[in-house]
Amino acid sequence: MKEDTDIDKAISQHIEMESFFSGGTSLRSDKVEQPIDSAKELELIAAEVRACRKCDLGESRTNAVPGQGKANAKIVFVGEAPGADEDAQGLAFVGRAGQLLTKIIEAMDVNRTDVFICNILKCRPPGNRDPKPDEIISCLPYLQRQLELIEPEIIVALGAHAAKTLLNTNSTIGQLRGRFHDYYTSEEAEPINLMPTYHPAYLLRNYSQDNRKKVWDDMQKVMKELGLPIKK
Ligand code: SF4
């Protein structure tokens, strides 16, 4: 019994010490867990992104593009990086590729405002060059935190960079697309279904019937998984 009391005392002292050093009372043992306000937390991440200078892109960008959409979205679309239009407006997928993405989302009978749309990189690489590995390493924690907060049912990775980064693989987008993969926000978390597909910008450059069908096939699998009616 005395041993239990000693352990309780030690834990209590530890909590008080942590509370003292953290300058607040949030670690008090009688703290009631508050539900996380995802929208507020996402806005805090967005504010961090707008002030971020962790890589060189922070100097060359016009606006950072944290991503936007519903805080409790069932689907999150993740692209590669902002382009010129996105850099000018500070919003993800607002250029031509963004317009095509809107068409794809609406063809799924989903409102664009009901999903969350963002990128692996939050700032535009000059001349739309490919993201560099050190830029991805610096920026990825923002996306990981966004996904952890939103906890979507499905992540759609748009293009090779998004798919390869999120799945930590060197496989090509052609090999990855067309089936669900597991994405984990943490070691303890349940996996989230991740569907890789072609980036709308790639689709615009290669607007063949075959490529459009492949993307639509991928989106139909997403719709089926979410229980949405499948249109032929
Ligand atoms: S790309 Fe990401 S890591 Fe680099 S400055 Fe922008 S927000 Fe920060």
CA of 181 to the centre of ligand 1 (A): 27
Q: Which residues contact 201 (CB under 8 A, 6 or more apart)?
A: 83, 96, 97, 159
Which pLDDT value is given to residue 35?
73
- Rounded CA-CA distance 189/119 in Å is 22
CA of 99 to the centre of ligand 1 (A): 24
Pocket test for ligand 1, best of 62, 119, 124, 138 (most atoms within 8 A of CB): 138
Question: How, if at all, do strands 116-119 and 154-158 pair?
Answer: unpaired
**Which residues line ligand 1 at a C-beta cut-off of 6 Å?**
49, 52-55, 57-58, 64, 121-123, 135, 138-139
Cβ pair 69, 115 in contact under 8 A: yes
CA of 47 to the centre of ligand 1 (A): 12
Which pLDDT value is given to residue 22?
37
- Rounded CA-CA distance 75/222 in Å is 9
Which pLDDT value is given to residue 120?
98
Q: Ligand 1: which residue has its CA nearest to atom 2?
A: 139
Which pLDDT value is given to residue 32?
60
- Rounded CA-CA distance 37/201 in Å is 34
Cα–Cα distances (Å) from 137 to 47, 134, 156, in that order, read 19, 5, 20
pTM for the whole structure? 0.86
Which pLDDT value is given to residue 232?
62
Q: Which atom of ligand 1 is nearest to the CA of 138?
A: 3
Q: Which atom of ligand 1 is nearest to the CA of 121?
A: 1
Show the beta-strand stretches assigned E in the chain. 68-69, 75-79, 116-119, 154-158, 181-183, 192-197
> Which ranges of the chain have pLDDT less than 70?
1-34, 231-232
Q: Ligand 1: which residue has its CA nearest to atom 5?
A: 58
As a 3-state breakdown, the chain gives helix, strand, coil percent values, each rounded to 5, of 50, 10, 40
Which pLDDT value is given to residue 29?
42
